[in-house]
Copies of this chain bind each other. A is one copy, B any other.
C-alpha cells in the first residue's frame, strides 16, 4: 500500500509541510488530488465515515486516515522510526509544530480576517489592520520564539546536527514569509541567524534538494496561505 496525501492541488498551503517532510525522509507517496483533481478530494473527504478530516491535508495509509498537519508529521515520524527516542524531545517537537500551525493560521488571517469563504477584496479593511498588528507584534513574537528554540541546540537544526520535521516546516514557513512579506523579512535580515541557518541548510538534505529541483514542488502563488499583497507588507 502506498501512502496517499490528499490536499488541494494548486497551491502549496498546509499540504506542502507534509510533502516536504516526506520528500526529505524519501517516503514514497501519491499526491492524490494532483493526480485526480480537486473534485476528487472533496468527494473522497465527504465519503469518509465516522471521525473524519475537518479539512485537508490528510493522509491515508491503509486503514489509517489522519488529518491535522502536526499529527500527520508525528504519525509519519513514528512510522518511519525517525523520532528521537526521548519522550520529552518528541513532545517538544510536536509542540513547536503546533506553534508553527498556529502561525500559519495567523498568516492566512492577514488576508482573510473576517471569513475564509469570502474573497480578500471583501475584507481588505480588516486585513489591513490585521496585517499591521501581525507585522508589528505577532510575527516578531513568533520569530523570537522559534529562534530561541533553534539557538538552544546551537544549530544548524532545532535539535542540532540531525534534522527533524520541525526543520523542514521552519524552512517552508520562512520561505512563505519571504514570499508574502518581502519588505518586512528584508527588514528582519540578520536578526534571526539561527532561523536563517535552518532556511539555508534544509535545502542541502538530499531528498529536499531533489524535490526542490523537481516539478513536484509547487511555487507560492496568490491562492494559498502565503500570498503577496503589497499593501499588507507596508512598513
Chain A residues with CB under 8 Å of chain B are 49-54, 63-64, 66-68, 70-71, 75, 87-88, 91-96, 98-99, 102, 105, 109, 113-118, 123, 125-126, 129-130, 133, 137-138, 142, 145, 148-149, 152-153, 158
Q: Which residues of B contact A109 (CB under 8 A)?
A: 109, 113
Say yes or no: B98 contacts A114, CB within 8 Å.
no
Given the contacts A67-B95, A68-B99, A130 and B148 also touching, CB distance less than 8 Å: no
- Complex Cα–Cα for A118 and B136 (A): 13
In the bound complex, CA of A73 to CA of B105 (Å) = 22
Q: Which of B93, B94, B133, B145 contacts A115 (CB 8 A)?
A: B133
Of A49, A92, A158, most B-chain CB atoms within 10 Å: A92
* Cα separation A213 to B208 with both chains bound (whole Å): 55
Are the C-beta atoms of A91 and B117 separated by less than 8 Å? no
| B50 and A148 form a contact (CB under 8 A) | yes
Minimum distance in angstroms from A23 CB to a CB of chain B: 23
Contact among B98, B123, B149, B158 with A70 in the assembled complex (CB-CB below 8 Å): B98
Q: Do the beta carbons of A133 and B152 come within 8 Å of each other?
A: no
Counting from the closest, the 3 A-B pairs by CB-CB distance are A50-B152, A115-B133, A126-B126
Would you mind naming 9 contact pairs between A and B with Cβ atoms under 8 Å apart?
A50-B149, A54-B142, A54-B145, A66-B95, A98-B98, A109-B113, A113-B114, A113-B126, A115-B133
